[in-house]
Amino acid sequence: MPKLNDHDRLADLEARQTKIAEEILDARRALRGKYASILSDMAVEKLSEKDFRELVQHAIRLGGPASITALKGIAPTAKSQPEKRP
């Protein structure tokens, strides 16, 4: 295979970079879709959209393990007790 000149090498690298960026975007969309489908089984309607968004943003900012530890450390109140279903 002949050695590429600098211009051709740069064009090849840019094409590969674009392809990788598209693959990253596709993977990110797939993961977000998977997480969104998990929400369909949860009673998120008990939260306002603003509270839900803020809760998720803080959880992402803190990281999963830190968020879970913080939430588990909060003593549940009577209002936050899950409803008993027959």
The phi, psi pair for 18, rounded to 5°, reads -65, -45
**Which helix (H) or strand (E) is 1 found in, with range?**
none
d(CA 15, CA 12): 5
Residue 28 has pLDDT above 80, yes or no: yes
Residue extents of the structural domains in the chain: 1-42, 43-78
Single pTM value for the model:
0.64
- Mean pLDDT check: name the lowest of 17-31, 43-57, 69-83: 69-83
Average pLDDT, integer, range 79-85: 56
pLDDT band per the 50, 70, 90 thresholds, residue 57: very high
